[in-house]
A = this chain, B = another copy of it.
């Protein structure tokens, strides 16, 4: 019925009474070769008609869409904040993230189980010619071979929270070493010498658990007269409380426990309660993650808070830098973002 609703460049050119190519150049900012009056006329016509450059066209011409694919599920507030960081940083550069999600706040997706769906997701992004990709660890693992593909197609990929030795993508993770060192220092400063670390099952998608335990053990051993015992959750079943009870009931009961996650810390709380141990008088506990429930535990849990906004922002910066300039030819790397030890009421001086 009506003529095209969205104004085209040629409409602007016609309105300003110049050729299309002149209008194109002027609107790109190449004013040098044109008269002042012409430039004004074109700019005004564009504004009056509400013309906007079609980025799809720029996309097919330059091969850049100013767009980054993001594959991160909104699993918990940590990841939501990572997304916020990504959005913020990309917006500054006038880029836009395109997110694919699966699952929701209650259900973590398992792409290992449904590889087809994951490939479909990646392709939805690639079909729109995203300039780069940011992924969460599970993807990074499940699609290692696809990553090689992307690398070859010159699409930079950044994986968050999973340092891999895979040579096809950059990574950004929490600085586990710095964070656990801070935990160890805090406990040692309080006088604790018999310290335990309770870890998860350390499956291969939880490289951070291993890393945390390792770094923590090392940090404790810096102190000559301190000892560190490590326990892991059962490989099958989730009976964290059982493991914690075993730990606390052992001959040489530790006076402090570092839990690799707040979840495990909660198990320690429960085990301590069932054994009549009071926190922090008999036992100091430190968690990791500062999950929602950490503040409202009794007593409030001292824990490590990561910096999801910063992590997201850094991941975004990495793909932008690979894309234009700074990191162009550089070897792939892994950025470590510091975390903060939040002291609450679950730690106290060691009894002597």
Residues of A bordering B, CB below 8 Å:
5-6, 50, 52-57, 59-60, 65, 67, 74, 77, 80-81, 83-84, 87-88, 91, 94, 96-105, 121, 123-129, 149, 152-154, 292, 296, 309
From B55, B101, B309, give the contact of A84 (CB < 8 A). Answer: B101
**Residues of chain B with a CB closer than 8 A to A60's CB:** 54, 56-57, 60
Beyond the given pairs A5-B154, A52-B123, A54-B127, 18 more chain A to chain B contacts, judged by CB atoms under 8 angstroms and listed by A's residue number, are: A5-B152, A6-B153, A56-B56, A56-B59, A56-B129, A57-B60, A74-B74, A74-B83, A77-B105, A80-B104, A87-B101, A91-B102, A91-B124, A96-B100, A96-B125, A96-B128, A99-B99, A292-B292
Is A127 a contact partner of B53 (Cβ separation < 8 A)?
yes
Is B105 a contact partner of A52 (Cβ separation < 8 A)?
no
Is B149 a contact partner of A94 (Cβ separation < 8 A)?
no
**Residues of chain B with a CB closer than 8 A to A99's CB:** 87, 97, 99
**Residues of chain B with a CB closer than 8 A to A102's CB:** 87, 91
Is B74 a contact partner of A65 (Cβ separation < 8 A)?
no
Is B87 a contact partner of A55 (Cβ separation < 8 A)?
no
Is B101 a contact partner of A98 (Cβ separation < 8 A)?
no
| Nearest CB on B from A14, distance (A) | 19
Between-chain CB contacts (< 8 Å), 28 pairs? A5-B152, A5-B153, A6-B153, A52-B123, A52-B127, A54-B60, A56-B56, A56-B65, A56-B129, A74-B80, A74-B84, A80-B105, A81-B104, A83-B101, A84-B101, A84-B104, A84-B105, A87-B100, A87-B101, A88-B101, A91-B121, A94-B124, A96-B98, A96-B125, A99-B99, A104-B309, A292-B292, A296-B296
Is B56 a contact partner of A81 (Cβ separation < 8 A)?
no
| Nearest CB on B from A66, distance (A) | 8
Is B101 a contact partner of A81 (Cβ separation < 8 A)?
no
Q: Given A5-B154, A65-B56, do A149 and B104 touch, yes or no (CB 8 Å)?
A: no
CA distance A54 to B50 in the complex (A): 27
CA distance A149 to B6 in the complex (A): 10
Is B128 a contact partner of A67 (Cβ separation < 8 A)?
yes
Is A105 a contact partner of B129 (Cβ separation < 8 A)?
no
**Residues of chain B with a CB closer than 8 A to A80's CB:** 74, 80, 104-105
**Residues of chain B with a CB closer than 8 A to A104's CB:** 80-81, 84, 309
CA distance A65 to B57 in the complex (A): 12
Is A129 a contact partner of B55 (Cβ separation < 8 A)?
yes
**Residues of chain B with a CB closer than 8 A to A96's CB:** 98, 100, 124-125, 128
